[in-house]
Chains A and B, each alone.
Chain A
Amino acid sequence: MTAASGRSVSTTRPMTEQRETLLRVRDLKTHFRTEQGAIRAVDGIDFDIERGETFGIVGESGCGKSVTAYSIMQLIERPKGELVSGSIEYLGEGGRRIDIAALDPNGADMRNLRGNEIGMIFQEPMTSLNPIYSIGNQIIEAIVLHQRVSKIEARKRAIELLDRVGLSDPASQIDDYPHQLSGGMRQRVMIAMALSCNPRLLIADEPTTALDVTVEAQILDLMRDLQAEFEMSIMLITHNLGVIAEMCDRVMVMYLGKVIEEGSVTDIFYNPRHPYTRGLLASIPHIGLSARLTPIEGAVPMMQDLPPGCHFAPRCPHAMAMCEDDPPMFYPSESQRASCWLYSDEATKQHAQ
């Protein structure tokens, strides 16, 4: 740890209103061992997800957004990957606080949490459904596993769910096999499965990336409707800023395993603080605007070979000497935090002069 992190401000965000925090992640580190050395896929991140909100995590490939989701679900493949440190505090039924990071990944508590309390949907709905069982079979199994109901009851519930996620003829489609459905339909089935036990948190890992734009719109609409209906929080992981803008209340931007910025969705789009966030926004074409894009220079560095200090410094147009130290979190406004030396006291003082 560098001297800089010693100066870091307390990790708890300034509280403006009393909110019920469903998930509180502190100093989460998930590392992987590879032949080329250790990869710090997630390297000390903090965030809170409130009840009922949609929390977006955005970033490019290799930024650790999916690993964050897998860590919360304790789905990290061991011994290659390991949850090195940190806590993942989940507010369970009846106000019970559970530290997921301390649970045995294969234990009964964790299994109960997965599916029952936290549901997850993945990018590729084909590979997440078992091709040899009918979709009904898989949903019914998920229901029976977590709830004490009979098979007949579970089947009825499965048909209800499939109907709810928009299958046109659920009573007969329940016996279809995954390959008989289109990509969009499969993602609907995945959502039905994730919702089968009324989870309070839905983790969606690039849920629409593999889908066509019209289907994507349908799935996003569906997720929004279901969120209101099931009163759940959604943790939405995507690289698509359009999806973030449409869906999220709060957004966290990640870059190479670290949180770079977090704020409300309007903060992020209208007043981005971190140069990386600004670079991302300037990189995407806006329909109707004919101005040339200004891309971020260079490429995302390899995970095995990270630059010291601020990982973004080599690509940053505002890089300065200070950036060779790890930047702590700064709070330029009440609802926003950014990990960038530009917001340090020294830098702002200099600016004022």
Chain B
Amino acid sequence: MSEAERKPAKLSKGRQKGLSQWDLMFIKFRRHRLAMASGLFLIFVYIVILFAEFFSPYPTNEKFGKFVHSPPTPIQFWDENGLSRPFVYGYKQELDMETFQRTYVADTEQKHYLNFFTRGSEYSLLGIVTSDIHFFGVDEPGLIFLFGTDRFGQDVFSRVLTGAQVTLTAGMLSVAISVVLGAVLGTLSGYYGGVVDLIVQRVIEFLSSIPRIPLWMTLAAVMPTDWSSVRIYFGIITILAFLGWMGMAREVRGKVLILRSMDYVMAAKAGGASSAYNIFKHMLPNALSHIIVVATLAVPVMIIVETSLSFLGFGIQPPMTSLGALLREAQNVQSVVNFPWLFSPAIVIIVTTLAFNFLGDGLRDAADPYSQ
């Protein structure tokens, strides 16, 4: 190449920035509509549950004794004069004399308008901010039960929000811990091989061979009963993580085994690079996209496991609640038939786990940005 050709090239140095692999992955991910939508939906869900106390109209444990097993309150947009600002009717309770069941009838005389940023009971957000402003509510003395009430007259919507807060964060945190554990052990095992690999692999095989649910139950059962619910919450997370890292470690090890023999790792070695350099500079960054995919797909599994444990009564204990604990309310046929709104926690679980799976799917496609 001649001098003349080189000069202008040098001037434009830095301007010809190429697309990095992350850029390509993002471009590819954006094309995956369902995954994009799921991702946005999950962000929305996590924001809502993070501020569950703000978004729920009533405290989790407030019992409205007069309104046991009330069905969801319909929000009205029409009154006798046509279109109106949203409101709810008051309730009249009637006892069906033939079946001796309580039924709730809307009292069209009473209209309670729906308001946003209303004042209500006091709560503390994440233990930092204290406030009494709620996202929505209705004029006193009206009541709004978006998902109905349970057998104590507690607002199911508020309970689902706080339950989801526990379940969904527990899923996320336990995956985060198992990712760290799995990545460290998987990398060590894959990179160094030999005795380290042998030990890690046998431990994984041993742990994986123990039947899951009984083990979880045992571990959950040995937690002292006098623990506070917050400690139990973190205890559950630890148990989930402790038994969830094996899959992660296997995935990372497999990836590291492939990356270890990549020629660019060899080239760095031939240039005098240390093992630490290779692990942190080449292997972990290249394994990262893969780790993210596996982690995303692990979250729904953890959510289901926490739900199952709590459903069986071994998980979160009152006064704390979780989606699994809430589902205990809907254990029998009678409640299924008569109070179907008690199933709303299940719907939340199904929708979020599906969203996580769609997101993971999209991420997996994006993680290999060069394929067509």
| A interface, CB within 8 angstroms of B | 34-36, 80
User: Which residues of chain B are near A35, meaning CB under 8 Å?
Assistant: 28, 31, 372
User: Which residues of chain B are near A36, meaning CB under 8 Å?
Assistant: 372
User: Which residues of chain B are near A80, meaning CB under 8 Å?
Assistant: 372
Classify the secondary structure of A's interface with B. loop
User: Which residues of chain A are near B31, meaning CB under 8 Å?
Assistant: 35
User: Which residues of chain A are near B28, meaning CB under 8 Å?
Assistant: 35
6 example contacts (A-B, Cβ-Cβ < 8 A) are as follows A34-B372, A35-B28, A35-B31, A35-B372, A36-B372, A80-B372
Task: Specify which of A34, A35, A36, A80 lies most central, judged by the most chain B CB atoms within 10 Å of its CB.
Answer: A35
State the Cβ distance, A211 to closest chain B Cβ, in Å.
23
Residues of B178-222 contacting chain A, CB below 8 A = none
| B interface, CB within 8 angstroms of A | 28, 31, 372
Q: In the assembly, what is the distance between CA of A155 and CA of B237, in Å?
A: 61
6 closest cross-chain pairs (CB), A and B: A34-B372, A35-B372, A35-B31, A35-B28, A80-B372, A36-B372
Classify the secondary structure of B's interface with A. helix
Q: In the assembly, what is the distance between CA of A80 and CA of B371, in Å?
A: 13
State the Cβ distance, A181 to closest chain B Cβ, in Å.
25
Question: B28's closest neighbor in chain A, by CB?
Answer: A35
State the Cβ distance, A81 to closest chain B Cβ, in Å.
11
Q: In the assembly, what is the distance between CA of A27 and CA of B222, in Å?
A: 76
Q: In the assembly, what is the distance between CA of A34 and CA of B28, in Å?
A: 12
User: Which residues of chain B are near A34, meaning CB under 8 Å?
Assistant: 372
Q: In the assembly, what is the distance between CA of A72 and CA of B303, in Å?
A: 52
Q: In the assembly, what is the distance between CA of A36 and CA of B28, in Å?
A: 11
Q: In the assembly, what is the distance between CA of A194 and CA of B310, in Å?
A: 61
Q: In the assembly, what is the distance between CA of A268 and CA of B213, in Å?
A: 72
Question: A34's closest neighbor in chain B, by CB?
Answer: B372
User: Which residues of chain A are near B372, meaning CB under 8 Å?
Assistant: 34-36, 80
Q: In the assembly, what is the distance between CA of A80 and CA of B372, in Å?
A: 10
Q: In the assembly, what is the distance between CA of A65 and CA of B31, in Å?
A: 31
Q: In the assembly, what is the distance between CA of A36 and CA of B27, in Å?
A: 12
State the Cβ distance, A302 to closest chain B Cβ, in Å.
13
Q: In the assembly, what is the distance between CA of A36 and CA of B31, in Å?
A: 12
Q: In the assembly, what is the distance between CA of A89 and CA of B42, in Å?
A: 56
Q: In the assembly, what is the distance between CA of A34 and CA of B31, in Å?
A: 13
Q: In the assembly, what is the distance between CA of A36 and CA of B370, in Å?
A: 11
Question: A36's closest neighbor in chain B, by CB?
Answer: B372
Q: In the assembly, what is the distance between CA of A125 and CA of B31, in Å?
A: 36
Question: B27's closest neighbor in chain A, by CB?
Answer: A35
State the Cβ distance, B72 to closest chain A Cβ, in Å.
45
State the Cβ distance, A32 to closest chain B Cβ, in Å.
8
Question: B372's closest neighbor in chain A, by CB?
Answer: A34
State the Cβ distance, A144 to closest chain B Cβ, in Å.
37
Question: B31's closest neighbor in chain A, by CB?
Answer: A35
Q: In the assembly, what is the distance between CA of A21 and CA of B191, in Å?
A: 59
State the Cβ distance, B21 to closest chain A Cβ, in Å.
16
State the Cβ distance, A70 to closest chain B Cβ, in Å.
16
State the Cβ distance, A92 to closest chain B Cβ, in Å.
35
Q: In the assembly, what is the distance between CA of A260 and CA of B372, in Å?
A: 28
Q: In the assembly, what is the distance between CA of A154 and CA of B344, in Å?
A: 63
State the Cβ distance, B362 to closest chain A Cβ, in Å.
14
